[in-house]
Structure 1
């Protein structure tokens, strides 16, 4: 199949993409199969994110979530053969494209104003997953999340500002609204299924036994050492921990009193 035919067939698949796992995995499998045309396929994804409906854009974002997970799993199973290594590397290039164009994709999926509100919550959840699981650089994800959080709550007044794009967005029909509700249920179910705890492993050389992309650290030090799953999990918890304060002093004193009874008092109740 020549690159032009690959591109046209992929565009057709993207336009028929739904929230069902069967539909998502079909498109993911196509990307993996034709990973040598990765740049062309990525251009199609960007274009459909720009031109598609607000519902199709969130479907594409969820598809990218599955594509990145699959790409990282394939990349972790690199074989000793040089040709096989090159093939695996080509499949992992989608993660690099996502990191490069993350801001652009999110701006398409969640446009400013009221139009982007339906996609805002799901997009934040996916970004948070990518940050926690180190799918891409957490700092890049934090920057995009900060931009989303700093947006005005209402659509800006464009009466005296520069002209806006002429794209018009008609209200969704009743059937489209019901379809969106059902697809949101499917997407949220999938997001809940993927909230995994980080793997605890001390093997820094063999990652082939791992089964989830969230267990695959991306960063390597100058010495070639990979971050451990337990270190990633500790860092995630440390970032969300609050500073020690008076409430913590009171809680520690209460726990100490329960464990070590004062002189003359009975033993601690262990029932």
Structure 2
């Protein structure tokens, strides 16, 4: 039973959202707070949706990272209180994160990765996933070095490091297997869930390559700027 004052919970959560970044530690800290107060999930989710209207588009992805962390925790623990609420809003949330702009385009690769994880773990039904896939269809992820995403030089460097940290954590999560799984369990899982290579797979490969090129561009931009200021 959660005896904490609801107003105090909203105040603390609002402050956490205001200070949220792409840092995995901050996202995990905020998601744990949200999960601890799952009895107020409806009110806290409304708060997240309100915040989606305020930050710069590139920063909205941090709120989706938070939602993803909550979903992943629910999935691991077999709980549904947050997931049942999120599934009613997730399509509109994704739409807010990837508007038709350079900032929205920069968020597309991250969203595709999250959606891939949701598909693999069957977090949402096919109707919801289909609606999200329609939003992502024909969207070109990433941005060129000349595109204005509204991010400053320091923000670019910070995002590169956060992306690396998140990629490492995602790989660790992907390889975690149940403790009681037999020696052939992982092979059986891949055999049952891996489909033939299709257009969606080629699109994901293209996105991965584009994200790599974009990161290289950002690193080179940061290096050139540092040299010009030295």
- Calculate the TM-score normalised by the size of structure 2: 0.69
Deviation at 1:125, TM superposition (A): 0.5
2:101 corresponding residue in structure 1: 113
1:236 corresponding residue in structure 2: 193
Within 2, Cα distance between the matches of 1:115 and 1:198? 36
Q: Which runs of 4+ in 1 moved over 4 A?
A: 229-235
Within 1, Cα distance between the matches of 2:98 and 2:151? 16
SS at match of 2:174: coil
Within 2, Cα distance between the matches of 1:210 and 1:20? 32
Within 2, Cα distance between the matches of 1:70 and 1:57? 21
Deviation at 1:120, TM superposition (A): 0.8
1:176 paired residue among 149, 152, 155: 155
Deviation at 1:178, TM superposition (A): 1.9
Q: For structure 2, list consecutive stretches of 5 or more residues without a partner in the other structure.
A: 142-147, 199-230
Matched, 1:96 2:84: yes
Within 2, Cα distance between the matches of 1:193 and 1:170? 30
Deviation at 1:241, TM superposition (A): 5.5
SS at match of 2:194: helix
- Calculate the TM-score normalised by the size of structure 1: 0.59
Which one has more relative contact order, counting CA pairs under 8 Å at least 6 apart? Answer: 2
Q: For structure 1, list consecutive stretches of 5 or more residues without a partner in the other structure.
A: 76-88, 154-168, 200-208, 212-228, 243-271
Kept after mapping to 1: 8 A contact 2:56/2:150: no
Instruction: Give the structure with the higher percent helix.
Output: 2
- Number of equivalenced pairs: 186
Change (3 A) 1:237 1:108: same
1:85 corresponding residue in structure 2: none
1:47 paired residue among 46, 50, 62: 50
Alignment of 1:1-271 (within 5 A): 1-75=4-78, 92-151=80-139, 171-196=150-175, 234=191, 236-238=193-195, 240=196
